[in-house]
Structure 1
Amino acid sequence: MRRHKPRITWLIGLVILYVLLWARISFAQPTPDLTPVPVWIYNADSFEFWRTPQGELQGFYPELVRAINLKYDTHLELRPVGGPEIGQRFNADSYGVYAGVLRTESRARTKILSSKLFINEVVAASPSMSVNTAEELTNARVLFRQNDATLESVQKRYPDLTFRSIHLVATSEEAFRLLSERKADFYINDASEMENTQRYYLLSHPFPELRIPVVLGFSPELRDLREKVNTFIGEGYRSGALRKALEESKRQYLLSRIAISNPEKDWLANNPLEIWLPKNENFAPIIWKDNRGYQGTAINMINDMRELLGMEVEVHFIDNYAETLEKQHWPIRLVDVAESSNTAHAAGRIGPDIAWHNLYYNRIKQPFLWDEESIRGQRVGVLEGSFSARYLQERFGNDVVIVTQHNLNGLIDAIENNKIDYILGDLSSLESTLRGNELFRGVLKVAGVTRSEFIVGPWVQPDHPLFQLLTQVHRLSSFRTQLERQEERDFFPDLTKNTLKIVSVILLVTALFSLFMLIMMRRHIKENRLINRNIVQALEKVNRAHDDETGSHIQRVAKYCAMMARELKLSRKMIAEIEHFASLHDVGKIAVPDRILRKQGPLTPQEFSEMKLHTTKGYTIIQGLALGPVAENIIHFHHEKWDGSGYPEGLRGENIPLEARILALADVYDALRQKRVYKPAFSHEQACEVIFDGAGRHFDPQLIALFREHHLKFRTIFDSLAD
């Protein structure tokens, strides 16, 4: 046995060596890398990403990151950072994944990008102005967020668009602050950046062709990860999971903006929420009725209460709403009509009020209402139980013959059969009815506008248990309505030969229908322009009848303004609007008492303070007529001065809209040349001396330089249109 011991020892040693080698190889295998991969995201609340009060991350991207980690055992980790930092990291290709990247052509060439996650629309936010086309932003003061692709995308898609000024901001919060301080006109960014439901503002959609894909970006080290992510995105689109996640994130984000207290929950659990709305009268844009049913912000708010919060809302549509409103004491009124001085209404407001001025209509060959007082003794047709009926009764009593009808067609029949002299009602109802009436299209005109200052808006009893909740819901609903848009559909069906034949026939029919629609649209555009012109002419004549200014003064001021706008090389549309609306600059004097307006002598300080209100009153009068920002700026700001000493806002320098600065110079020149009760007429030379002296104080120095060059044209215009 001893002879075999060395062999046994050798075998045992060999086994031990094998075990050690196996252990070494096994333990030498690399462990999986558990180092998190940062996913950089802009740190601002939106449906893409937000924090709960407890600090938990919610939104589309947190859900996306969790789903990718679960599927591929990756270790992506969301890292919120500020706008400048994420921009610097992305431009430098710093390590990580980048969420919310806007895909542009230049980025597609130079960066590693994923497939499309969703499409973002570019919108423009403003506290008080709205635009329909990109051209209307010409000469506007605009804000863009720095290190963002929106400015590049706008400039590439609209190369001829020029702004008065461009200012880059670090955050959206800074942009909205500058807007509220009137240091800019519009903040332009993709829609997700506008989701601030803490304040009211108007959203415009002037870039319908500009829809920017939102993608993920990858640093060069993570190029391989892109394939996994693209596979995940493709599967998500095919299954519908990605679209569903987007919609749910948007819904949950909006819900997160609303805080429902326990007392509010208890009230809703034990009480029905009842709301009364007008059935047969329009109060656009709060509520109106068309062939699709009831529309407007009140309807949107009710739908949001039902869909977002699951609230049970009982809606009652009431005939003779304005008449019933005075008799009832409804605690919740989404359509409340009150005088602007009504403090009870002010205490219960849950949203912005709208100036409410109804319009008089009569036949084109009949005279305008030079003064609303001349309506006394006339027969005026109104809808039964409407606000117009209440207005006439309260303002004129038995001095006006009020003829009521159940509907607008009845009013048109009455004026056709000479049973009434005028129709009084809201602009949206009457214009929509006239457009559908072949007989009276182009036969009736705007004859005048009501002068009493009423406002219409949503109201809730201040001590109502739901006052705060409904205020939040109204603000959220206003935001949601403005931002709502149709998502892009990817739909490419396989076409057989038979299908192609059918499609060809459909396309032919569609082409013929489109041609017909283009002809109709052109006709409607002409009609709308005529309506707009009639409104302006009516307001001009009403204002002239109320004030001592002559028609020649209005014509001259319009000519001065148009000439200066042309010399400034403004767009043709801008020149036309400035000339067209210059005549309305003092329309607010309609609301100034005659004792002040026609006073033969200097005004007292108190009277002058009341006179100065004509700028804000004029702005209120025309707000509901949708004449556009040029008209609004001319009326509101034509008494502002370059050094900030003007009124009503005390704007300074370029913060004053250009059209208002032009109007101010033209108006002063013509006023100096005219003989007034309180002064003699100035010669051209004397007027020029006064205007030159106002450079840098009253007037824009650049406009003064232009005036020096073309002052003889002013004299020619004055002489050719002398009174």
Structure 2
Amino acid sequence: MLLKLFISFIFIYLNIFAIRFSTEEINWIKKNYDRTFNIYVYNPKHIYLYENEDGNLRGVYVNFFENITNQTGLNFNFKSLEKSEMQDILNNGKGDVIFNASKSKEREKHYSFLPTLNSYTLGLYSKSDTIIDFQNLDKYKVGLIPTTSDFILLDKFYPDLKNKAISINDKENFGFWALESGLVDAVVGKSSNDILKNYRFTPFENIPSTHLWMAINKEEPILESIISKFKVEFTTKYVANVLKNERPIFYKQLLSKELIIKRVQRRYSSLKVFIPEAKGMLPLFYKTKSGYKGYVIDRLEELSKLTELPIVYTQNPNDDYDIKAIDSKLFENNSNAYFIPYYKVQVAAFSNRNQNFLDTYQSAENKKVGIISFEKINPYFLNFLPNFKFYKIYPDTDSALDAILKNEIDYVYADFKIMSMAIGNRYLDDKIQVAGFLGSSHTIGFGIKKDPDLAKLVDKIFPNHLAEIQILQTELTVPKRLSPNYQYLLFVFSSMSLLIATLFYLLRKATIASKKEKRITKALVESFEAANELNDEDTGNHILRVNLYSKFLAEKLKCSSKFIKEIGEYASLHDVGKIAISDLILKKPGKLTSEEFEEMKKHVIFGKELIQKMQLGSIAENIALYHHEKWNGKGYWFGLSTDAIPLEARIVALADVYDALRQKRVYKDGFTHEVAVEIIKKERGEHFDPALVDIFLIHHKEFDKIFISH
């Protein structure tokens, strides 16, 4: 625990410094200081890039490039183009940077492509009263806009539908005019196209979610390098706040021609919101000295900015409120006419460390059970109460946790995220554990009593675009500490201050003697490895073996001696970024939710930043950042494919998976060597580099020897 805290402290301390540039990058910035780079964009209608009322572009990526300008002095100029102009620039390599571009082999001759934050799913739009039957697509007239990323994806996954589709132009908002005119029954489009939810969207089951691209001219490789560095920093540190600030401005402009906002403004002088008396419901809402905070509060503040109406909170259920902050269709006597869901509850059992693991409600029939309910009793639990010999209702997480600590109850049933954050906030991770998942869930959301306009407005502005949801809901998985653990802080601060002072003294001395520098670097790597092991009790010698497998593959590839040496030392750091991920996610015994998995994926970003700040070199950085990319482009974080993935990351990916297959874990038995070999063989050209798999198959017995002997 202390070692992990120490490494995390170093990470935070080093993170205050600005982005580090290479000498080549610094010289390039100086050389291009007076130059203006043109950023071209087609159809800027999303919150990431859109035209304001003055005709100027704004949005998340305008802020992104302003950030680059502020830190480098480089100048960027946004230009909105017609479709024909954009295609000409893309096909002939005339642009510096291009947004919302479709990637093709022809265009890759001129441009490098980076994924933007604008991720989406592809599907069919139809009128609200038309439900699309994917088993009988032949009976529908389907419209498709040619020469778009939609066209390319459909050609790959649904070629028959692409060939039968009616070609339509993209005038007047993504081809929705064709739906309204009756020309087609459905239009192929991105999930982000219908911002105001006017149509029914049915996603294609066989097409994975993807993203729009930022194309950067290959004649400026240093520009691509600089943008990539800023993209990592911007994604992890700033984008959520920028998105929150932009949303009210964007939707206010979008709804300016509709009467719905004006009707709401005429009816209300303020919006009264009923919120439970509970102390808090992390991460949805919690109270601080400055007022309420949390995911629900952020959405209500966006509504307030959009309507220019203040939010007034009440905790009296008898008040004539306008919006109920925490509502469910399951609550008794639900008189709210409109329900807009925003959170999916996953029921879990929690207990002290002495209790057994549960997998059903019946498992606790002879135990004392607590249930958290913010309104009398959640009807969801009513069917299960007869199974409990003794149960008690608690109004909030704090009172339930106190009851467990005092042994007044054996288990408490509650939402996994809400209770997990409450445990983390009170530093009770070592005393209270998850004791079971019930595999069932329901939704909670906003309840609106009587006003269809207010309900429609809330629904329209609520995040529905895949990328917005992924970014904004990170706060639903990131633990929040509302009060510091002063005992830990005092001990850690005094101990770590001495260690850090010693470390930096040694680092300074090491600049004089290279041998000392190597020893300190080795010590840091070993510290990172030790911290990494603490994240997963099952790892054993996993990280040592990954080093050995990786070094072996590099030798067989006849890589340079420097490459072989570094991959043999740094492959073990592939998962070091997990020190920045909550233990509640890392050690969750059940399957991660989609939101938790999105949070888990961030470990590659954190790992790369940590290694970058410690200046271990590009090989170590690439291993941390890209080891979950796949040869077929379906990995993460960037969705790179084939040899766009650095070789060192491709090597470590295979080594890591082989060892993970062999290991016995809490949730699975280890596979035999023969089974692991067959799995990797099947993933040739899918997950793994075919050339690496071929080498592995020739020398697979060496992998088995390494696993057995270490």
- Using structure 1 for the length normalisation, give the TM-score: 0.43
Bigger Cα Rg: 1
Under a length normalisation based on structure 2, what TM-score does the superposition of the two structures give? 0.44
